[in-house]
Amino acid sequence: MGKYSGQGKRQTFEDSLKGKDVPVLTLDSKWYHLLGKVGYEDIKADEDRLNELLRRQGKINSEAKEIKKVKRRLMDEIVALMDDHQEGSEDASSKIEENKRLLNECNKKLDSYEDEMIDLPREIDAVNKSLMRTTMEHCYETMQDNTDDIEELEEWITGIRIELKKNLIRKQEKEAKNHEIYKYMHDIFGADVVDLFDMRYNPADKHPRTAEEIKAEQNKEEDKGAS
pLDDT for 1 equals 40
Residue 85 pLDDT level (bands cut at 50, 70, 90): low
DSSP 8-state code for residue 43: G
Mean pLDDT along residues 83-103:
75
Q: Which amino acid is at 181?
A: I
Buried b or exposed e, range 158-181, using 16+ CB within 10 angstroms: eeeeeebeeebeeeeeebeeebee
CB 131, CB 44: distance < 8 Å: no
Angle in degrees, 0-180, between the axes of helices 90-189 and 44-86, rounded to the nearest 10: 160
Residue 209 has pLDDT above 70, yes or no: no
CA-CA distance, 12 to 133, in Å (whole number)? 10
pLDDT for 146 equals 93
Of the candidate ranges 3-7, 177-181, 216-220, the one whose mean pLDDT is the lowest = 3-7
The whole model's pTM is what?
A: 0.61
Spell out the residues 6+ positions from residue 31 whose beta carbon is closer than 8 angstroms to its own: 25, 135
**Short-list 171, 223, 180, CA closest to 203:** 180
